[in-house]
Structure formats: C-alpha cells, structure tokens
Amino acid sequence: MRAICNPLDLPYRIQDLSIGPRRWVAREGADPSIVTFEGRHYLFMSMSGGFWHSADLVDWTFVATPTLPIYDYAPDVREVDGHLVVCASRRRTPCSFFRTKDPLSGSWEEIAGTFAFWDPNLFQDDDGRVYLYDGCHNKTPIWGRELDPATFEPVGDRVDLVTSDTEHHGWERTGVDHDPGNIENRTSRVLAKVMGSAPFIEGAWMTKHDGRYYLQYSAPGTELNTYADGYYVGDAPLGPFTPAPSSPFSSKPGGFITAAGHGSTFQDRHGNWWHTATMRISKNHMFERRIGLFPAGFDDDGVLFCNQEFADYPMVVPDGPMDPRTHAPPWMLLSYRRPVIASSAAPGHPASLALDEDIRTWWTPADASPGQSITVELAERATVHAVQVNLAEHELRAPKRRRREKRLTALWMRHIDTDDHPAEFLLEGSIDGTSWTTLRDTRGRTTNRTHDFLVLDEPAAYRHIRLTGFRQAYDGPFAVSGLRVFGRGGGEPPVPTPPSATRIGPLDARIRWPRAAGAQGYNLRYGLAPDKLYCSWLLHDQTSLDLGALNAGHDYWVAVDPFNENGVTRGEAIPIPS
C-alpha cells in the first residue's frame, strides 16, 4: 500500500546552534516548497543542503546542492519559463536566484540578486508576468512586487499586502492555544519581551485557481502548536486582497505532532491538490521542526481547505484522482498508553512517554549503551498493519572540529552537519512474547532518518512490539518520542456524545461534551457551515476546549467525533450561539 505518516520520514540535518556560551543540538526541516516539474515532485526546505524528488509523494530521493547557499532560509522553488527557479532568504544582502532546466544534473545558473528579501515566493501568471511575495516579521507586512522574468529585477514599486489583524483573526494570536500569556519556550519569552506579542506574518505562497489569486501566509509563530496558514483572495496578482473568513485553512494544533504553517500548495500529476507545511517540535530548540503533507482542495464555492483530521496517522496516497474531503486514515492507533516495559529509564524519561502521543516527550534509557529496548503490549484481537518509529535527540553533544563552518542565521550561530548519522534499531513483533519476528532492522543503514514508517507486507495479530536501539548520532543515547503501532482493534468505535457550545467573545468559543464510553480521544471539527467543518483539533483525555481560532463577525458550527482503536464515529454538527 502506498502510505505515508506525518511527520515525513526524511533525513533532517543535525545542527549545532549557539548564542555565546549557550548551545543546542537539534534536527531541523522547515518552510517546505513543493512543485511538480516535468512529472516529478521537487521538495526544498530550510537548512538541508539539497532537495528531494519523488514520482509518487511516497518515496523521496535526496540530491545535494553544494552550489546553492545552504545557510539561506526558506528556499522557494517555482517553475518560471520552463526552468526550475530557486531563491532563499538573506535579510540584509541581495539574494540571488538559481535556475535550471535539469535539476537532477546538478547544474544551476546563478542570476545575481539586486535586493534583499525574507521568506520569498515566486509566482508566474498565465500571461508570463512574474511576481515575488516576501516578508517575515511581527512589525512589517507581506509585500508583493513584479519582477522581470529574465533578470528577476524589480519592476515597479513594492506593495503592502497582508498585515496582522489580531482584533479580528483569533487564529493569528500568539501563545499556546492562542493564549498570548502562555509562552512555553524560553527563547520565545525573551523575543516577546524584546519584540512584543504581535504575531509573525510570514511564509507567503501564491496559488491561482479559477481566475482568482489565493495569497497564503502563516502566523503566529513557528514554535507554537497553533502555527497555521491562512489566506487572502483577490482578482489580481498584487490585489487588492480580502481576508478569507475560513482561515486558517491549514491548522493542526493537537495530536502527536502539532502545527501546520509556512508551506506550499501544489497539484500532483493526477491533478489532486496537496499542501505541505512546517510541523513543530521546538523542544531541544525553538527551530526544531519537521515537514508534513496533507490533502487539500477547493470546494464549489472556491474555499481553499486542507483535510487535517488525524493528520499524523497513516495516509494512503492514491495513484489517481481523490476527494480530499473523504480522505480518512486506513488504520487507527493501537499503542496509546498501553502497558510498556523498558530495559531501563533515565530520570524524568519513563517508558510511558514513548506512548503518550506527544512528540515533545520521550523515553530514554539510563545510559547510552547499545541494546536497550522498549516493549509495548497490545490489546487482544488487535491486528497490526503499520508501525512508526519516532526517535528523539536526547542531550546530544556535537563533536568539536578544528574547522567548522558557522553562519549567523536568525539569532544563532549555526553549523549544519551535512554528514549522515544513521540511527540504528531493531523492530520486532511477537504473538506470545517468546518468539519474535523481525519487522525492520536498520543496522548498517546509511541515512539519518528518524521517523521510520513501516507498512507490514501482511497484517498480523501481534500482541507485543519490541524496539531495540543500537548506534545513534554522535554516540548519544537511544531516545523514542513515539513508538506508534497502527491497525484495527477487535471491538466497536465509541458512541458519540452531543457537545454544547458557547461564544465567549468575538474570537473565542467554549466547547464541552460528555465523555464517550471507550473513547481514546476526540476529533473536534469546526467551520463556517455544517458542511464546511474544514478545521480540526485532535484531543486526548479532555472533554472541553476553549477554541480561540475564530474570526470576528462570522458564525461557526462545531462537531465532536469520538474515536478509539476500532474507528471514528462522526458527531452531528451544531451551531455555536453568539
């Protein structure tokens, strides 16, 4: 089966970051741009030293690009006049453009830049004219300007297009769960004191559909669970633009890995729409991030949306046209808070943290010796179809090198380690806890992929899944943020319980619902009409939510879907009274 599971399993580069004596080591992959060029998909993302290409959005091949600037942020890729064109951010000095007709050849022509920009996005209209959108700040807007398609020099004046509007857009507000007073990251607290609590407006991307221009942007901040993409709509490339009341169209504030901002919207070779975006971990460092991919589309009223229900569960990638509104996970989670044992555990990192559906917590053993293991016991009558192994970086120490290239990017001195550091493990399944079958053995593998997703050739009634760690990056300890087992349980999905909803302000609503017997969690869906519940929020172990992502002046509807290892039961949509 052609299936993937977010975050995408790519070799995210390890980085050594520092401010004076303070130092962090973390992996980063963010700000993804994907385009389809001559039948293949090309993915560029920040701080990677190359790009990925794929024929099917499932299997990705990495190509190093030593001639492109590795330390420039937010690489944008678009097709312009039959070339693949790449540009990236350098705030204070002019940014160059690079183009090629054959990206796999490694040959790129540099077109020297004449101006600086940040978070760029090129767009060529049907008439051949080219535009650049850029901006990344909490005090300046998203700008647009026309460029010469041959030299990429500006044509005409720069235009202000999108600014923050937290008085009317609840989803743009900073803080955890849109609460400006709840800032959990130390660096974010420092930035808030220096720069204020206004959201960062960034990550522009332009899509033209049915003659209209959809200018997408992200807010409020990449380190937040509420990082999302919204959009404005206009009838011309430089506006004027009107905010879409259905924003955010890409939002993932709950679940195993959160956030879905600063991305790109594209069509595959079948004409299906997709959206890729930045997902956050932000635990070892605020820029510790990953990449997600989601079905997207435009409804009959021209509303741009993503289907991000269970967006970190397995997802089938069809080899043909699809309806993104009906795209559902083929399997449910079997491992959530199941009984688990480990060979040992470091203080504060018990084995249960590998099964709590939070990528920001992890189990790690008492020491870094190889052969440490963790074993989960599944329920009777469960059938295993797939396993996702998510590894964490626990107190990694980058080795000192005599010659280490470092650059000042954002606020940090940064060294990107372009070497591969394989994370080796053995994944096994057992029916009786005595005889074990090898499911995946990565020992000797040469790529540093840390979100390994395995679909079994044949589903099996395993009662136990065991994961054993061996060599890790920089000889660090084995650390598991998510040993996630997917399949089907042997029972029934829970029965839905009707919610109650109250508008408690122009931007906020309070949603409550009774606990459903046998429920593992709840998928809350909301939107502007009962048949347009395009936004969702996956929750565990709670029966209420203060929803702060609303837009002022618009009516909303909400539904709550209980789920467990046996499936999801759709709840009935109800209006949120003002």
In this structure, the chain runs to a length of 578
Q: First and final CA of the chain: distance in angstroms? A: 46
Q: How confident is the model at residue 294 (pLDDT cuts 50, 70, 90)?
A: very high
Q: For 120-170, write each residue's pLDDT tens digit.
A: 999 999 999 999 999 999 999 999 999 999 999 999 999 999 999 999 999
CA-closest candidate to residue 266, choices 536, 109, 437, 42? 42
Is residue 79 within 8 Å of residue 85, measured between CB atoms? yes
The two structure tokens encoding residue 380: 């009777």
Letter for the amino acid at 468? T
Cβ atoms within 10 Å, residue 323: 11
Is residue 306 within 8 Å of residue 249, measured between CB atoms? yes
Q: How confident is the model at residue 398 (pLDDT cuts 50, 70, 90)?
A: confident
- With vertex at residue 190, the alpha carbon angle to CA 230 and CA 172, rounded to the nearest 5 degrees, is 15
- Identify the architecture of domain 333-488 in CATH: Sandwich (2.60)
Consecutive H or E run containing 191: helix 186-195
Mean pLDDT, the chain, rounded, equals 95
Alpha helices in 255-303 (DSSP H): none
Cβ atoms within 10 Å, residue 259: 27
Task: Determine the 3-state secondary structure of 177 from DSSP.
Answer: helix
Each domain of the chain, given as residue ranges in start order, spans: 12-330, 333-488, 500-576
Strand order in the sheet with 109-111: 73-80, 83-89, 97-100, 109-111
Q: For 499-518, write each residue's pLDDT tens digit.
A: 999 999 999 999 999 999 99
Q: Is the pLDDT of residue 484 over 60?
A: yes
CATH value of 12-330 in 2.115.10.20, 2.40.10.120, 3.30.1330.60, 2.40.10.10: 2.115.10.20
- Between these two residues, 195 and 211, which has the higher pLDDT value? 211
| pLDDT value of position 410 | 75
Q: Is beta strand 142-147 parallel, antiparallel or unpaired with respect to 97-100?
A: unpaired
Burial class (CB in 10 A: 0-12, 13-18, 19+), 545: buried
Q: How confident is the model at residue 568 (pLDDT cuts 50, 70, 90)?
A: very high
Q: How confident is the model at residue 448 (pLDDT cuts 50, 70, 90)?
A: confident
Distance of alpha carbon 528 from alpha carbon 575, whole angstroms: 9
Q: Is the pLDDT of residue 564 over 70?
A: yes
Q: Which of 222-231, 307-316, 418-427 has the lowest mean pLDDT?
A: 418-427
Q: Is the pLDDT of residue 402 over 70?
A: no
CA distances from 433 to 377, 380, 533 (A): 9, 13, 44
Q: Is the pLDDT of residue 187 over 90?
A: no
| pLDDT value of position 184 | 74
CA-closest candidate to residue 379, choices 418, 411, 332? 332
Q: Is the pLDDT of residue 494 over 70?
A: yes
DSSP state of 378: P
Q: Is the pLDDT of residue 404 over 70?
A: no
Q: Find the mean pLDDT for residues 286-292.
A: 96
Q: Find the mean pLDDT for residues 393-405.
A: 78
Beta strand extents in 312-382 (DSSP E only): 314-316, 332-333, 340-342, 373-377
Distance of alpha carbon 279 from alpha carbon 91, whole angstroms: 23
CA-closest candidate to residue 6, choices 276, 338, 296, 336? 276
Q: Find the mean pLDDT for residues 329-340.
A: 98
CA distances from 271 to 66, 294, 309, 324, 568 (A): 33, 15, 21, 12, 29
Burial class (CB in 10 A: 0-12, 13-18, 19+), 66: exposed
Task: Determine the 3-state secondary structure of 530 from DSSP.
Answer: coil
CATH value of 500-576 in 1.10.3720.10, 3.40.50.10800, 2.60.40.10, 3.40.50.2300: 2.60.40.10
Q: Is the pLDDT of residue 372 over 90?
A: yes
Burial pattern 134-168, b for ≥16 Cβ within 10 A else e, equals bbbbbeeebbbbbbebeebeeeeebbebbebebee
Beta strand extents in 29-124 (DSSP E only): 33-37, 40-44, 50-54, 61-64, 73-80, 83-89, 97-100, 109-111, 121-124
Cβ atoms within 10 Å, residue 99: 19
Cβ atoms within 10 Å, residue 40: 15
Burial pattern 232-249, b for ≥16 Cβ within 10 A else e, equals bbbeebbbebebbbbbbb
CA distances from 483 to 246, 355, 391, 473 (A): 35, 6, 9, 19
Is residue 316 within 8 Å of residue 386, measured between CB atoms? no
| pLDDT value of position 406 | 80
